Amino acid sequence: MEHAYLILAHHNFDTLTLLFRLLDAPNNNLYLHVDAKAQGFHEEELRSVLKSSKLTVLPPQIVYWGGYSQIEATLRLVEYALKDGFDYCHSITGVDLPLKTQSEIDSFFTKHAGYEFINYRPERYEYAEYKCAYYHPFVETKYNRKYKAVRLLDHGVAMFQKTLGLKRSQTKFYQGSAYFSISEECAKYVLSKKDEIRKNYRYTIGADEAYLQTVIMNSPFKDRLYRFEEKYYGNAMLVDWDRSENRNNSPHTFRISDYDNLIAVDEGILFARKFDENIDAEIVKKIFHYIDERQKSEGSDYRTLAAKENDQTAVK
């Protein structure tokens, strides 16, 4: 099975390097977008750690937190990956890590081929509507995160529209995690809606957590969703919002105290976010060494291993 990893990054490049080392495998293609505002990124150093995977680094664009530029960067990654083709593409960030070996990840998606892995949080419906059904004109600017007054102004403009009933759309918006694993067929469908997505989600806030869920729930692919409403399982990623940080705008950053729980997750949870080497570098290194040692014991070319497993199954 061929995999495409779509990776958004803007800092923590030591963690990104370890992530690349764990993803390095013959049937993984890596696609990386680094925010144009980022400092300290060295492409040559990153390429030097790869032995098997093909790496495509996209031309950098500025990405603003919560803005449409996040969606745009993700869709560009999908577009690049489709040029090469894949069975599944996986949207992650540079501060995420796999919790399973590449052999286990490949086996999981082989076993569940035909499903789409997208997360939905039904309790967030009203919040999704606020973020997407009204214009937020000041998000796509560097001043939005820098100045509280700008955020309050943006909020005021949105609330004014809500009070007057001036919705930009009557769509029912679905919200969940911005990160996903989808098939090539599904990815092509999403890209076919690129103009519609741009029209509907420009001048919104945090719509990267809503556009995909909403597009898919209004498509034939809604019947192929894997455990859609289940925490963590929908997109096979562990994201701890129960211990949310930064006024509920960011999930919990894993620490070394989380290690035992992280490695004990069941087979349906393949990735975890987020990690921060500036907060706790020890957990990043420990997860890396745990997965790296297990991958070495399995052998480097897991396509060969998977083929052997399939042959054995056929014989049985």
Q: pLDDT of 155-194, one tens digit each?
A: 999 999 999 999 998 899 999 999 999 999 999 999 999 9
Distances in Å between the Cα of 294 and the Cα atoms of 100, 217, 289 are 9, 38, 8
Question: What stretch(es) of the chain map to CATH 3.90.550.10?
Answer: 3-124+170-315
pTM exceeds 0.85, yes or no: yes
Strands 88-93 vs 96-98: parallel, antiparallel or unpaired? unpaired
Q: Compute the distance between CA of residue 174 and CA of residue 193 in angstroms, rounded to an integer.
A: 16
> Residue 239 pLDDT > 90, yes or no?
yes
Helix (H) or strand (E) run with residue 307 in it: helix 302-315
Whether the per-residue pLDDT at 303 is higher than 90: the answer is no
pLDDT band at 124 (very low <50, low <70, confident <90, very high): confident
Q: Could you tell me what percent of the chain has a pLDDT over 70?
A: 94
Structure tokens at 51: 């032995």
Number of Cβ within 10 Å of residue 243's Cβ equals: 10
pLDDT digits (tens, 9 = 90+) for 4-62: 999 999 999 999 999 999 999 999 999 999 999 999 899 999 999 999 999 999 999 99
Transcribe 200-232 into DSSP letters: HHTT-SSGGGTHHHHHHHTSGGGGGBSSTTSTT
Note whether 66 and 155 are within 8 A (CB).
no
> What is the dotted CATH code of the domain comprising 3-124+170-315?
3.90.550.10
Nearest Cα to Cα of residue 17 among 44, 36, 39, 37: 44
Residues 6+ apart with CB under 8 A from 75: 190, 191, 194, 197
The tokens describing 181, both together, are 């694993």
Question: In this predicted structure, what is the pLDDT of residue 181?
Answer: 98
